[in-house]
Amino acid sequence: MAAKLGRKAIVAGAGMGGLAAAAALARRFETVLVLDRDTLPDEAALRTGAGQGAHTHQLLKAGELSLEKLLPGITQQFVVAGARQMLVGRDVKVFDFGGWMDECDAGFTVTSLSRPAYEAVLRRRVVTLPGVSIQHETIVKRFIVEGGTCKGVELEDGTRISADFCIDATGVTGPLMAQLAEDGHAVFETENVKINVAYASAKFRQKPEHRGEAIGFFFLPGPPGKQFGFMLPIEDDQWIVSVGARGGDSPPKTIDELREYAKAFDAKVYDRISEAEATSQIRMFRKPMATRRKAWEAAKWPQGLIPIGDAMSSVNPTYGQGMTVAACEAEALAEILDKRATGGGGLDGLGAEYLPVAAEIAGRAWSLSVNSDYVYPETEGERPANFLMNRAMAQTLRKLAVEELDFRVFRYRLVHMVDSANALRDGPLAVRFFTALQGSIPA
């Protein structure tokens, strides 16, 4: 039997991050209780707490690999649930800053499902783990902190549940991090970047001539273009389409307007939905801010409590990093717990060990997304001191990716968070990259 580090752990939030966290905790605690305010559906269905649930989601490759380590066989369970598997570089068509990227075999596939379907599969799997239970329609009011240590949670009805360890997986809109600060139990800086993004999404039945396709389209024009869009194949022979804009522009409000909006992207996209049956209403979402709460730099932070996923860092959802960051952080947590359990360690200082690791994972997503957002004038605020250098590096990598297969594959691996940008400095591409960068560095 696996060594236990505690009797009970509590996870606040049953989204992708909370479920991945429960999988990480399951082997090292006798019981793991996941609490969520929503009514959680038995099947794949939208829920109130997942505000972006109706929109396009992509589990990046790094996130898939992390979930597979936590829950072996989960990728195949996604496929059984209807996920399409797409070869990155070939099946995922990318229009990037002025042109379609040439096809290639990036060496890995990704699955494509709706967000509710991803959650449903993960929820069914996690609840089968020994000691794990999920309690819905339960609102966590605050974490109970005594003497600088989290002792459990207090529910909205006043019930107190004790625990040896707690995780906040309630997302960027969850009140628990703010409540910690308000109660004087934590002191941390919050960074906001005004990205001003809004989008609308709908699902369509695949027409007979396109049924069974495993092809996706990503349309990300550079400035001055403000409109963007995505189309992915999902379960039940459907497309999910999300289109949006930056700044004060509003995305389409009707299905017909969405079809017309998509016409500007590419004829192949428009053809697939032009006369296709809409299988959902159109839904809108606005993301004014990218936000990160710097718990890893906190002047004060309680023992026995960590945040995961969007509770700590939430970026522009256009880049599809949210689920992956949470999954990678959960894998990192599992590795820390395993090391402590096998080495005879306990829970003391666990947060101090985990938070810098989680910050590095979230920081990679933050850097990739916010540096891209800063290119657009619709993103408000003063650009950081290294912005021009970061932009020159991104432009150089984009140019090399068009010209050379090695860099194209690396760029896909970077976007999917399989590799980090450090590989450009230390890896086999470094000399060629920095040679090409010369002359692009701003004075």
What pLDDT does 426 receive?
87
Q: Round to whole Å and give the CA distance between 22 and 36.
A: 13
The domain locations on the chain are: 6-80+113-191+291-371, 192-288, 383-437
Element (H, E) at 65: helix 61-70
- Return the CATH class of domain 192-288: alpha beta
CA-CA-CA-CA torsion sign (121, 420, 191, 149)? positive
User: Does residue 439 have a pLDDT over 70?
Assistant: no
pTM of the predicted structure, to 2 decimals: 0.96
d(CA 254, CA 35): 36
* 279: confidence class by pLDDT, cuts 50, 70, 90: very high
List pLDDT tens digits, range 284-334: 999 999 999 999 999 999 999 999 999 999 999 989 999 999 999 999 999
Share of the chain above pLDDT 90, in %: 87
Average pLDDT value for residue range 41-58: 86
| Residue 442: predicted pLDDT | 54
Q: Which of 28, 295, 343 is nearest to 164 (CA)?
A: 28
In angstroms, the Cα distances linking 206 to 239, 255, 268, 314 are 6, 15, 13, 32
Fold observed for domain 6-80+113-191+291-371 = FAD/NAD(P)-binding domain (3.50.50)
pLDDT at 142: 97
What would the pLDDT profile of 38-49 be if each residue is shown by its tens digit?
Answer: 999 888 888 888
* pLDDT, average across residues 365-375: 95
Poorest-confidence range of 24-28, 58-62, 318-322? 318-322
What is residue 340's three-state secondary structure?
helix
> How large is the average pLDDT for residues 253-276?
92
Confidence band (pLDDT; 50, 70, 90) for 210? very high
DSSP 328: H
pLDDT at 249: 85
> Which of 292, 289, 300 is CA-nearest to residue 180?
300
pLDDT surpasses 80 at 85 = yes
Distances (CA, A) of 327 to 10, 18, 47, 96, 423: 17, 9, 20, 27, 22
Confidence bin at 13 (pLDDT 50/70/90): very high
Which positions ≥6 away from 391 have C-beta within 8 Å?
371, 374, 375
- Span 224-237, average pLDDT: 94
Q: What is the DSSP letter of 431?
A: H
In angstroms, the CA 232 to CA 310 distance is: 23
121 pLDDT above the threshold of 90: yes
| Strand pairing report for 92-96 and 216-220 | parallel
pLDDT at 425 over 80: yes
3-class secondary-structure state, position 97: coil
Residue 224: asked if its preceding bond is cis (omega within 30°), the reply is yes
| Predicted local distance difference test score (pLDDT) of residue 1 | 56
